[in-house]
Amino acid sequence: MIEKQKIQGLIEEYIKGKELFLVSVKVSSANRIIVLADKKDGITIDECAAIHRHIENGLNRDVEDFELQVSSPGLDLPFSVIEQYLKNEGKKVEVVDNDGTKYTGKLKNVTPGGFELETEIKTKGKAPELKDISFNFEQIKSTRIILTIK
């Protein structure tokens, strides 16, 4: 079986000095390798293909056969690295905390320790007011982008 660390090393070697960042690497027992990468303004198909070629050149099919897929994380997957939070700062997200409580609002002030969520608080008989809620990353079960149609 191909080791996940080897794939991560090849990717880190390729993306060093580029605006790209690694989101995740999965390697199954059947050597099915799935790499998710991105960058602040969105990864292109050509960039995914270049990462694919770099990984493929670093592995030997004569030793072990493998299936390789390189893509962006997509909009339906929850965030898994801080770079995704930074990329989506200012956008509307859904946050689920470890207790299962859902919050929606605008992602703000992302730091290495956490972020703020600007959300509307509705009180019966009053106009909704905006409030910032602070979260540490340890408090979060998942965060996803909310697509809005304009």
pLDDT for res 84: 96
Please report, rounded to a whole number, the percentage of residues in the chain having pLDDT higher than 90: 83
pLDDT at 125: 79
Q: Is the pLDDT of residue 62 over 90?
A: no
Enumerate domains of the chain plus CATH numbers: 4-71 (3.30.300.70), 82-145 (2.30.30.100)
- Say if CB 113 and CB 137 are below 8 A apart: yes
Kindly report, residue by residue over 85-137, the tens digit of the pLDDT: 999 999 999 999 999 999 999 999 999 999 999 998 887 878 888 899 999 99
Please give the order of strands across the beta sheet that includes 20-27.
20-27, 32-39, 67-71
Q: Is the Cα torsion angle 44, 109, 82, 92 positive or negative in sign? A: negative
The pLDDT tens digits for 9-25 are: 999 999 999 999 999 99
DSSP conformational letter for 134: E
Q: What 3-state class would DSSP assign to 125?
A: coil
Q: Is 81 helix (H, G, I), strand (E, B) or coil?
A: coil
Asked if residues 35 and 51 have their Cβ atoms less than 8 Å apart, the reply is yes
